[in-house]
């Protein structure tokens, strides 16, 4: 190895994500993985995707295989704009940018709003891959708590030396805690962002996956209503994805932002990957026209609720001393606390030996690093295997 | 518009790419576009792609729709490694990373090797989208000339205050000039990079599109041979793509680099977009197994040579005073010089009025900014339309 040049600061600091490495474990035979944030593959609308492929490659092959617009297909942007328009708030297609999954949206937003050394405010714990993306931009993080009083700083650290410019949150069925913000918290955070001149990044991959149906209004629409903006365009950048409701392998997500911000993002994105895949966009456009999403969403809600309940029931039956967990109202994750003093990372090593995987909570914390927390995914595993997985997990927890 | 926060430096400096904006012109009725770098859509292997979609969604639907590995599919990395292994040089699958098109590879390499304010050495003119990508990283550019003596600095500028760390080149059928490096130039550049401790970024999207077949050996393999490395892994990062030989809309390219560099890139890429699309990878893997690429490449070579010749013949017949051009041996572009003192950007405005588009050369220059140059793409237009397009172009050149 004669590599002649040093790496950039970003490359020197980048660590392979534990989640991504753990995903590899799911390939081992008989491993029950509660680790990744994977949707249930047996619920993918496979036949509809196959039919859609045939259709688009018959009716519009050039469009589906050629280079495309950096913003994404206009008809798909229009459809997303319509879907994101709720209550009195209308989203314009010019406020929509289609990305390579929500992860690219996070990267893009970070690259457009944060310079090296700047600080993003986040909930603690927060979404691990957001930390990965924005660390790549050179940002630091200031951990916050959220509630009806809006966001409040937790234990002040050096990161708080600078005023916040961006606050990132996951208000529906948060990854990793599964928590959902009340309407009151949303209202307060939106007011606070306006008052303090902070950009709000609202990441909402799970909003459609509420067990009881609709979630409270989005920060985007509350902000727009509050400001009396008919068409949005205030302080909020909203991120959505087809990964959880259709299929992650298509790699399509989106950003909704004020048109001026979208313009900037398009210019930056052109240097990143030119444009989103056209075959994937053609297929998704075909699927949404066929109503696949309207069929998928209720199916997923029902299945994931069943899986969530199976996991909770199994944990209850295991009756593990000192172990507690939340009761999510949707999404894909259960957040578990072991007894004080226990270490989820040590537990993971033993759990892998008996064929069950999860993500230690420490990965998600910015400051608190509560090492007795862990995240369990229930969407990827059927109820029977969930019960077996919790049995395996319980045996190692009990063995101590 | 109440956007509360300022943009990052990258976002403030980003300009929408002229090429990408020009692509939109190709949608106007009766426009003949020599502007983009688009492959011929009528030569896309549409039926084979359609069959491949059906096959992969029948045989391995979960794999084709689920999240995947950040490095890309192992079997596709293996295939790329084999294809990149030529002469005595073997490429390891661990030296291959699959990207969202070659553009993401450029972005990723820039993010891993360059910090803000650092200088990349490039040919002048060079590939426009490389400039876009690495400007986004905050890099500056130092223009070089290349020849049998290796790279030499052209007119010294402020950028030369710092020693080079990265040299970027497009040795086969360069975009925009169509020029191809001789074996001697390659050998010298590889030696120079070793001597000066510079990383060589070899961008080779057109290598398969030589009218006469094979091109001289890659910088990657010459470097490996020179250093006596059986499996590569010296100073070179090599970039390839399926966009020109299969279809750009699949958005799949790759990087070949020393394994240690690939490891770094994977960590950075995880924050960027997690992984390349799995449906696209499944389809491409199916296609390469079926031999689609072996059928496509000769078809494209023949068609593009015919188009290139049609363009050159039309220009010859037009007999435009003071206008000269190169004779590419492959690739997709003709590089034209107008008479001294003429301005290609002014010409473009008049050309658009008569229904023909191209890219003014000034976009590609780092320092020389020869405003009398322009790039014509011939791959996207059939010979008859090429003749008509050159007639339109000639009429506005002649009108002066």
Q: How far is B2 from chain A (nearest CA, A)?
A: 6
Q: How far is A398 from chain B (nearest CA, A)?
A: 33
Domain count across chain A? 2
Q: Considering only residues 196 to 215 of chain B, which have any Cβ-Cβ distance to chain A shorter than 8 Å?
A: 197-199
Whether A266 contacts chain B with CB within 8 A: yes
Confidence grade of residue B244 (pLDDT, cut at 50, 70, 90): very high
In the predicted model, is pLDDT for residue B23 greater than 80?
no
Q: For residue A273, which residues of chain B lie inside 8 Å, CB to CB?
A: 100-101, 103-104, 107, 251, 273
Q: Residue range B112-130: average pLDDT? A: 94
Q: Considering only residues 99 to 118 of chain A, which have any Cβ-Cβ distance to chain B shorter than 8 Å?
A: 100-101, 103-104, 107, 111-116
Whether residues B317 and B384 share a domain: the answer is yes
Residue at A101 is within a domain: yes
Determine which of A17-31, A144-158, B88-102 has the lowest per-residue pLDDT on average: A17-31
pLDDT tens digit sequence for B352-389: 989 999 999 988 999 878 899 999 999 999 999 999 99
pLDDT at residue B26, rounded to an integer: 64
pTM flag (> 0.90): yes
Whether residues A282 and A331 share a domain: the answer is no
Q: Considering only residues 50 to 69 of chain B, which have any Cβ-Cβ distance to chain A shorter than 8 Å?
A: 50, 53-54, 57-58, 61-62, 64-69
Whether residues B213 and B311 share a domain: the answer is no
A111 backbone dihedrals φ, ψ, rounded to 5°: -65, -30
Whether residues B36 and B55 share a domain: the answer is no
Of B116, B270, B278, the CB nearest to A20: B270
Interface test with B, best of A270, A275, A278 (most B CBs within 10 A): A270
pLDDT tens digit sequence for A294-341: 999 999 999 999 999 999 999 999 999 999 999 999 999 999 999 999
pLDDT at residue B20, rounded to an integer: 59
| Residue B228 C-alpha from the chain's centroid | 29
pLDDT at residue B28, rounded to an integer: 80
Read out DSSP for B332-366?
Answer: SEEEEEPSTT--HHHHHHHHHHTTEE-EEGGGG-S
pLDDT tens digit sequence for A257-302: 999 999 999 999 999 999 999 999 999 999 999 999 999 999 999 9
Whether residues A123 and A154 share a domain: the answer is yes
* CB spacing of A57 vs B49 below 8 angstroms: yes
Whether residues A220 and A366 share a domain: the answer is no
Q: How far is B149 from chain A (nearest CA, A)?
A: 21
Tell me the C-alpha distance between A207 and A244, whole Å: 10
Whether B27 contacts chain A with CB within 8 A: no
Q: How far is A323 from chain B (nearest CA, A)?
A: 31
Tell me the C-alpha distance between B150 and A293, whole Å: 57
* Vertex A366: Cα angle to A362 and A372 (nearest 5): 25
3-state secondary structure of A132: helix
Whether residues A160 and A309 share a domain: the answer is no
Exposure string (b/e) for A371-392, b if CB count within 10 Å is 16 or more? bbbbbbbbbbbebebbbbbbeb
In the predicted model, is pLDDT for residue B119 greater than 70?
yes
Of B166, B197, B270, the CB nearest to A16: B270
Residue at B5 is within a domain: no
| Higher pLDDT among residues A153 and B118, named by residue | B118
How many CB pairs below 8 Å do chains A and B form together? 307
Which residue of chain B comes nearest to A132, CA vs CA?
Answer: B271
The ipTM assigned to this model is 0.95
Confidence grade of residue A87 (pLDDT, cut at 50, 70, 90): confident
CB B226 within 8 A of CB B140: no
Whether B266 contacts chain A with CB within 8 A: yes
* CB spacing of A247 vs B23 below 8 angstroms: no
Question: Residue A391 is part of a domain; what is its CATH number?
Answer: 3.90.1150.10
Confidence grade of residue B196 (pLDDT, cut at 50, 70, 90): confident
Tell me the C-alpha distance between B309 and B316, whole Å: 10
Q: How far is A157 from chain B (nearest CA, A)?
A: 23
Whether residues A123 and A261 share a domain: the answer is yes
pLDDT at residue A85, rounded to an integer: 92
Asked whether the bond before A47 is cis by omega within 30 degrees of 0, the reply is no
Whether residues B266 and B338 share a domain: the answer is no
Residue at A1 is within a domain: no
In the predicted model, is pLDDT for residue B65 greater than 80?
yes
Q: How far is B261 from chain A (nearest CA, A)?
A: 8
3-state secondary structure of B215: coil
Which residue of chain B comes nearest to A192, CA vs CA?
Answer: B4
Q: For residue A266, which residues of chain B lie inside 8 Å, CB to CB?
A: 16
Residue at B207 is within a domain: yes
Confidence grade of residue B1 (pLDDT, cut at 50, 70, 90): very low
Q: Where are the alpha helices (DSSP H) in chain B?
A: 9-13, 18-23, 46-59, 61-65, 74-84, 101-113, 128-136, 183-196, 219-226, 259-273, 278-290, 292-318, 344-353, 383-399
The region that residue B228 occupies, defined by phi over 0 for left and psi between -120 and 50 for alpha, beta otherwise, is: left
Domain end position, chosen among A292, A314, A344: A292
Tell me the C-alpha distance between B223 and B167, whole Å: 14
Expressed as residue numbers, the domain containing A388 is 9-45+295-399
Tokens of A316: 């209850």
Q: For residue B243, which residues of chain A lie inside 8 Å, CB to CB?
A: 67
Whether B381 contacts chain A with CB within 8 A: no
Whether B251 contacts chain A with CB within 8 A: yes
Read out DSSP for B89-120?
Answer: BPPPGGGEEEESHHHHHHHHHHHHH--TT-EE
Sheet strands side by side (includes B150-153): B96-99, B253-256, B236-241, B199-203, B166-169, B119-123, B140-147, B150-153
pLDDT at residue B230, rounded to an integer: 65
A258 to A221, A255, B20, B58, B126: CA distances (angstroms): 12, 10, 21, 41, 34
pLDDT at residue B229, rounded to an integer: 67
Tell me the C-alpha distance between A319 and B34, whole Å: 71
Mean of all residue pLDDT scores within chain A? 92
Tell me the C-alpha distance between A80 and A176, whole Å: 26
Which residue of chain B comes nearest to A195, CA vs CA?
Answer: B4
Q: How far is A277 from chain B (nearest CA, A)?
A: 5
CB A331 within 8 A of CB A209: yes
CB B307 within 8 A of CB B390: no
Domain end position, chosen among B290, B310, B341: B290
Residue at A4 is within a domain: no
Tell me the C-alpha distance between B308 and A231, whole Å: 49
pLDDT at residue B14, rounded to an integer: 86
Domain end position, chosen among A292, A309, A325: A292
In the predicted model, is pLDDT for residue A71 greater than 50?
yes
Q: Give the H or E element holding residue A19.
A: helix A18-23
What whole-number percentage of chain A has pLDDT above 70?
A: 93
Whether residues A93 and A21 share a domain: the answer is no
Tell me the C-alpha distance between B295 and B117, whole Å: 45
Residue at A281 is within a domain: yes
pLDDT at residue A1, rounded to an integer: 46
Of B3, B38, B66, the CB nearest to A41: B66
Q: Considering only residues 130 to 189 of chain B, which have any Cβ-Cβ distance to chain A shorter than 8 Å?
A: 132-137, 165-166
Q: For residue B129, which residues of chain A lie inside 8 Å, CB to CB?
A: 270-271, 274
Q: How far is A387 from chain B (nearest CA, A)?
A: 23
Residue at A372 is within a domain: yes
Whether residues B309 and B163 share a domain: the answer is no
Residue at B385 is within a domain: yes
What whole-number percentage of chain B has pLDDT above 70?
A: 93
* CB spacing of A277 vs B277 below 8 angstroms: yes
Whether residues A269 and A187 share a domain: the answer is yes
Question: Residue A191 is part of a domain; what is its CATH number?
Answer: 3.40.640.10
In the predicted model, is pLDDT for residue B19 greater than 60?
no
């Amino acid at each position: 190895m004669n590599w002649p040049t040093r790496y950039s600061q970003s490359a020197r600091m980048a660590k392979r994500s534990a989640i991504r490495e753990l995903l590899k474990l799911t390939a081992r035979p008989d491993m029950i993985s509660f680790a990744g944030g994977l949707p249930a593959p047996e619920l993918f609308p496979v036949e509809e995707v196959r039919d859609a492929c045939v259709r688009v490659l018959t009716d519009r092959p050039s469009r589906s295989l050629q280079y495309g617009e950096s913003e994404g297909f206009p008809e798909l942007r229009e459809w997303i704009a319509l879907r994101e328009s709720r209550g009195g708030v209308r989203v314009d297609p010019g406020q929509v940018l289609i990305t390579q999954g929500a992860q690219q949206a996070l990267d893009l937003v970070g690259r457009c709003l944060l310079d090296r050394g700047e600080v993003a405010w986040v909930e603690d714990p927060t979404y691990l891959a957001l930390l990965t993306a924005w660390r790549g931009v050179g940002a630091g993080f200031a951990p916050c708590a959220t509630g009806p009083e809006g966001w409040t700083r937790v234990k002040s650290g050096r990161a708080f030396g600078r005023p916040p410019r961006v606050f990132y949150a996951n208000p529906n069925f948060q990854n990793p805690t599964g928590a959902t913000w009340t309407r009151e918290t949303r209202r307060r955070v939106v007011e606070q962002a306006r008052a303090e001149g902070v950009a709000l990044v609202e990441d909402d991959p799970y909003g459609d996956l509420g067990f009881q149906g609709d979630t409270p209004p989005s920060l985007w629409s509350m902000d727009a209503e509050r400001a009396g903006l008919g068409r949005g365009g205030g302080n909020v950048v909203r991120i959505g994805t087809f990964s959880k409701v259709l299929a992650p392998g298509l790699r399509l997500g989106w950003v909704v932002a004020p048109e001026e911000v979208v313009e900037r993002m398009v210019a930056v994105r052109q240097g990143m990957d030119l444009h989103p895949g056209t075959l994937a966009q053609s297929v998704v456009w075909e699927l949404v026209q066929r109503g696949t999403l309207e069929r998928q969403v209720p199916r997923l809600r029902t299945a994931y609720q069943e899986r969530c309940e199976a996991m909770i029931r199994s944990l209850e039956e295991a009756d593990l001393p000192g172990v507690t967990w939340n009761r999510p109202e949707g999404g894909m994750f259960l957040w578990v606390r072991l007894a004080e003093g226990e270490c989820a990372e040590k537990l993971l090593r033993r759990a892998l030996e008996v064929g069950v995987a999860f993500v230690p909570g420490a990965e998600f914390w910015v400051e608190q690093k509560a090492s007795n927390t862990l995240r369990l995914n229930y969407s990827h595993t059927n109820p029977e295997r969930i019960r077996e997985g919790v049995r395996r997990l319980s045996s190692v927890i009990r063995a101590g």
